[in-house]
Copies of this chain bind each other. A is one copy, B any other.
């Protein structure tokens, strides 16, 4: 396993500056955003101008490699919601939004092909996340699943064409958010080989489910991993609960994202289960922790997480005491 870094943590800085900084700190890989207007990588221009290979060389010149491209914002438009909820990403009718998201996601797959990056990360969206609850629309979630299959089937075929895989990040406002929904989505596209998961433990823990079980159940469908943690803020949860709305920075928030090691994720267990199921790729640190600066995070994460990465599976002992 390797420790990676999400370039978008410093979206206001040029990509090269980020690469230099994190390579010096000991990070080994970089994840690059490609959604429209991300400020660091314009996928269309990269492809047209042929600058993609240059970017790859620049990254490698720092001893890093690109673990994944990520297109969270635009890909969400494909599954919705399509009203004012997503006007901040792209303004248009439902159909226009779907088209825009679809094209942006396919463009990212094309860039991945050009860069020889195996994984693209994104969301699926969902028309109304409240449909997880059966009232008032008992068949609502099924309708979202049907929409997903209809629209993502063709997209995944394009991914296959480009030799890339699509790793969906389980998340609120997303069709995939727990073990069941992840497995149903894969079934819904007939076990398409290009559909998998970008495991972000922070997005799972508040549900009470076991991240370890998620890993065991999805196993080789886990294409990429985010090193992000989350905290049920114990002293606030009595009032706020785990679905608390409001600004991330409010002092009384009952749920907040954290850097690895500062939340409720048991990283040793997560890393163990990843190793047991054969995952040997990147844990990419994303900073959404409102309690400390990104510079605090850059130092603390490499110190905490890098020594925990498992580098090889158990090769067995040969003595009488421990033979199976």
A238 touching B251 in the complex, CB below 8 Å, given contacts A128-B128, A207-B243: no
Chain B residues positioned under 8 Å from A216 (CB to CB): 235, 251-252
Contact between chains at B240 and A85 (CB < 8 Å): no
Q: Please, which residues of chain B bring their CB within 8 A of the CB of A207?
A: 241-243
Partner of A180, one of B204, B233, B240, B324: B240
State which of B38, B129, B138, B261 has its C-beta within 8 Å of the C-beta of A324: B138
* Contact string against B for A residues 284-324, beta-carbon threshold 8 Å, 1 for contact and 0 otherwise: 00011111111110011001000110111111011111111
Pairwise interchain contact B251-A276, C-beta atoms closer than 8 A: yes
Would A39 and B130 be within 8 Å (CB), given that A85-B136, A248-B324 are in contact? no
The answer to whether B126 touches A72 (Cβ under 8 A) is no
Q: Which residues from chain B contact A85 at a C-beta distance below 8 Å?
A: 128, 130-131, 136-137, 140
Q: Using an 8 Å CB-CB cutoff, how does the interface string of A21-42 with B read, 1 for contact, 0 for none?
A: 0000000000001010111000
Query: What residue in chain B is nearest A137 (Cβ atoms)?
Result: B85
**Cβ of A317: which chain B residues have Cβ within 8 Å of it?**
8-9, 11, 287-288, 294
A310 to B293, CA, bound (A): 8
Range of interface residues on A (Cβ < 8 Å) = 35 or more
Which residues in B have their C-beta under 8 angstroms from that of A84? 137, 140, 143
Extra contacts besides A132-B172, A134-B323, A293-B311 (6): CB < 8 Å: A9-B317, A38-B320, A72-B321, A213-B239, A238-B238, A292-B312
B312 and A239 contact, CB distance less than 8 A: no
**Taking the complex as formed, is A113 at the interface, i.e. its CB lies under 8 A from any CB of chain B?**
no
A89 at the interface (CB under 8 A from B): yes
User: Once the chains are docked, how many angstroms separate the CA of A243 from the CA of B133?
Assistant: 8
Residue-wise interface mask of A (180-223) relative to B, using a CB-CB cutoff of 8 A (1 in contact, 0 not): 11000000000000000000000010011110110011000000
Chain B residues in 8 Å Cβ range of A321: 8, 72-73, 135
- Assuming A9-B317, A272-B262, is B209 touching A324 (CB within 8 A)? no
B173 touches A133 (CB 8 A): yes
Judge whether A132 and B243 touch: CB under 8 Å: yes
Contacts A81-B128, A141-B245, A239-B209 given: A172-B9 contact, CB under 8 Å? no
CA distance A241 to B242 in the complex (A): 12
